[in-house]
Structure 1
Amino acid sequence: MTEPVDEGLVIYWRPLCGFCQRLLEALEVAGIQATLRNIWDDPEAATFVRSVNDGAETVPTVVVDGIVYTNPPPDQLVIHLQQA
């Protein structure tokens, strides 16, 4: 399995993904910064996403302190991050 980039909060996303847009907007409103990895432009990012999602390129895939979340509800992720 490919290891995630250890940068605190990493969002694996792709253009035209409505779920990704909602998540990114929620993080922006909350003032939370993240490292963004576009799986269409970054083959290593795509490989990582497939490795943690049973071969699927399901986005957004989020890594928080080494823990992977696939398509988490934006409001719950924001609350989790604000409590950390």
Structure 2
Amino acid sequence: MTRAWTLPTLLVLCGSAVAAGSFVQGRPWWAAAILLVFVLLAGVHSPLVFPRSIGAREAERRSAVDGRPVVFWRSGCTYCLRLRVRLGRDARRAHWVDIWRDPEGAAMVRAANDGNETVPTVLVAGRSRTNPDVGWVREQLPVRA
């Protein structure tokens, strides 16, 4: 769990250091702006932006029942972030597995990608796609009721 928060924590710490330097130099508004940018970057790269992660085994079980795709991701991954942002509210209609929190999910991603933990990897009906087009992912989502 702490691995997922490493990048956001580093961003906040670096932003705080840069902002403190600007504040000491007599530029409090610039310091506040810098700190805000770093905090926003930390938020975007944190697990808070993504739907709640579940374990790979539970995601597969749920997917078999409801037909929703399983998206394997990790924090700090710009491709995962891009997929998440482009899906918008539709992202909630998929099952998300953070491979840094779930070793079984990481193993499934490695099995699908020749030993690499390349994300996002999307699993639909037992078949996987790595870094798929957002349009394809949307087509795999169940129709809204």
- TM class by shorter chain equals 0.7 to 0.9
Which one has a larger percent strand, Structure 1 or Structure 2?
1
AA partner of residue 41 (structure 1):
R
Distance 1:35 1:83, change over 3 A: closer
Match for residue 60 of structure 2? 5
Question: After alignment, is 44-53 or 66-75 more displaced?
Answer: 66-75
Gaps of 5+ in 1: none
Structure whose CA Rg is larger? 2
The one-letter amino acid of 2:87's match is L
Aligned residue number for residue 121 of structure 2: 61
State the identity as a percent. Answer: 38
Query: Under a length normalisation based on structure 2, what TM-score does the superposition of the two structures give?
Result: 0.49
Q: Secondary structure at the match of 1:72?
A: coil
CA contact (8 A) 2:79 2:119 kept: yes
Cα distance between partner residues in 2 of 1:15 and 1:31: 15
SS, match of residue 5 in structure 1: helix
Match of 1:27, SS?
helix
Q: What count of residue pairs does the alignment treat as equivalent?
A: 81
Change (3 A) 1:13 1:83: closer
1:73 maps to 133
Could you say which residue in structure 2 is the equivalent of 1:23?
83
Query: Higher relative contact order by CA 8 Å / sep ≥ 6: 1 or 2?
Result: 1
TM-score, normalization: structure 1? Answer: 0.79
| Structure 1 position 77, deviation (Å) | 2.5
Higher helix proportion (structure 1 or 2): 2
